[in-house]
Amino acid sequence: MDDTSGILDEALERLHSSGPEREGWLSNHAPMAVEALVRRGQSATMHRWLDYYDSKLEDRPRRVSPVTEATWQQALGDPRHLTDWADYFTHQLAERPWREVLAVWWPRLLPGILASATHSVIRVGHAVRTLLDAERAAQAAQVTHAAPGTDAGSAVTPVPTAPHASSAPKGPRLAELAEALGYWAARHQPLPGGPVDVSGAATPAAALPALPRLADQSGGIRDRLARVPTVPGWHRAMGAPHVPDDPERAYAQLGRLVRAGTHRYATHGHGDPIMLVHAATVPNAVLRTLPALPRALWAPSLRAVWPPVAVLMMIYGPAASRPAPHFAGDRPAEHHPAQHHLADGQTAERRSAPTVRQAVSMTPDEVFALAAAHGDEHVIKFADTAVDVAATAPDGDARALAAAMHAQALIGAPR
């Protein structure tokens, strides 16, 4: 992560005086977006982006009553306790290693993964990634300062890795995990129609196109979720994917789901350009979290994250796809400067977005830089996921980068 100056910690401190929501229940995306901006080398734009987003932030909700070991089950899914839940996890993380707290609460929260239209688990994924970064940095420092003749290389463990005991970090990154877990607990929301037995044989790439579509897509997410049980064949389709019991294979299968969701956006994102980015960013949030969890939780995590991905595609997917972009023979177009208008009247130069066909000629860093210049929080987070997908593909996965470019074209830039 490009964070040698501590700019992410500074941004998180600034944000933790605000609540997790605005206008009643819309999510505060800033902690997730700034983490992606800093990680992807866009630290210089982060404060300007926060200045633009500041008008969307609201104060913390008032405290109602403390959440305790005796009362947490009653408070689960009760948004009146948004701040109480954040307080609870702040105390938990002060007393126990963060991985231990996560391992206890992850399986408790997974059944409510639809919380806040899936933004809660996405925020957890960003928070965990920063903590894993901090652990790796500490391990690297141990290697650098190892005494001559010691086996310094053994201090570094690649990710994914089985959780290990580590001293709990302090500061804004740990506080961000408390905020994220608290948000998930307060907005905990089970799947419509009850649990789904995900025990089929399909790959993610085959299961996504086979999903039925909700015909009546009127209203917001709550209205649509209530209609899911009326969709013919919905329960069977949501149980179709194969979930390997082996942790390593489950991890790989989850990566395939992230890739399939990212690719599908290029042909189906027009159904709802904002909501359908979550069909990729939600499973990627879980994928980022797995290295911090006991391996016994990896397969159950895949089993839990597929249904919300399927539901999002069912209730927001379009009636017809659009052709996927073609890459062969495309020549990069020249990029012409445009103006990106910020809330305070400032402007920042932004290159006009190339067509998605030209993504093949661009590096992942260039694609993300354009997302940062675009400025929309969903565009930023989706590009962050697309870059992750590209990084794991031997050929660089131009389809994933094209999907990120497509999001920039479909979602309007902030003005």
**Mean pLDDT in order along the chain per 10 residues (415 residues):** 72 95 93 97 93 94 97 98 98 97 98 97 98 87 57 40 50 97 98 91 98 96 96 94 98 98 97 98 98 98 97 97 61 37 38 57 94 97 98 93 94 90
Both tokens of residue 323?
């052709």
Residue partners of 70: CB distance under 8 A and separation at least 6:
none
Both tokens of residue 61?
């909700």
Whole-angstrom CA distances from 204 to 264, 278, 297, 308, 317 are: 11, 15, 19, 13, 16
Of 91, 89, 93, nearest to 120 by C-alpha is: 89
Cα–Cα distance, 245 to 311 (Å, whole number)? 23
Cα–Cα distance, 392 to 321 (Å, whole number)? 26
Q: What pLDDT is attached to residue 256?
A: 98
Residue partners of 295: CB distance under 8 A and separation at least 6:
162, 247
Q: What pLDDT is attached to residue 193?
A: 87
Q: If you count DSSP H runs as helices and E runs as strands, how many of each does the chain have, helices first? A: 17, 4
Rounded (5°) CA angle 276-57-102: 65
Q: What pLDDT is attached to residue 139?
A: 81
For residue 26, the SS3 value is strand
Of 247, 252, 275, nearest to 407 by C-alpha is: 275
For residue 292, the SS3 value is helix
Phi and psi (nearest 5°) for 360?
-65, -25
Dihedral sign of CA atoms 3, 376, 269, 332 in order: negative
CB atoms within 10 A of CB 22: 16
The string of DSSP letters for 123-164 reads HHHHHHHHHHHHHHHHHHHHHHTPPTTS-GGGG---SS----
First to last CA, the chain: 29
Both tokens of residue 369?
């830089």
Residue partners of 101: CB distance under 8 A and separation at least 6:
89, 92, 93, 181
Cα–Cα distance, 74 to 79 (Å, whole number)? 12
Longest dimension (CA), the chain: 68
**Predicted model pTM:** 0.89
Q: What pLDDT is attached to residue 323?
A: 81
Cα–Cα distance, 385 to 262 (Å, whole number)? 8
Residues in the chain: 415
For residue 289, the SS3 value is helix
CB atoms within 10 A of CB 15: 22
Which ranges constitute the DSSP H helices of 40-118? 43-53, 72-75, 82-95, 98-109
CB atoms within 10 A of CB 386: 35
Amino acid letter, residue 308: P
- Report the half-sphere exposure of 33 (CA within 13 A, side-chain side): 25
Cα–Cα distance, 178 to 162 (Å, whole number)? 22
For residue 72, the SS3 value is helix
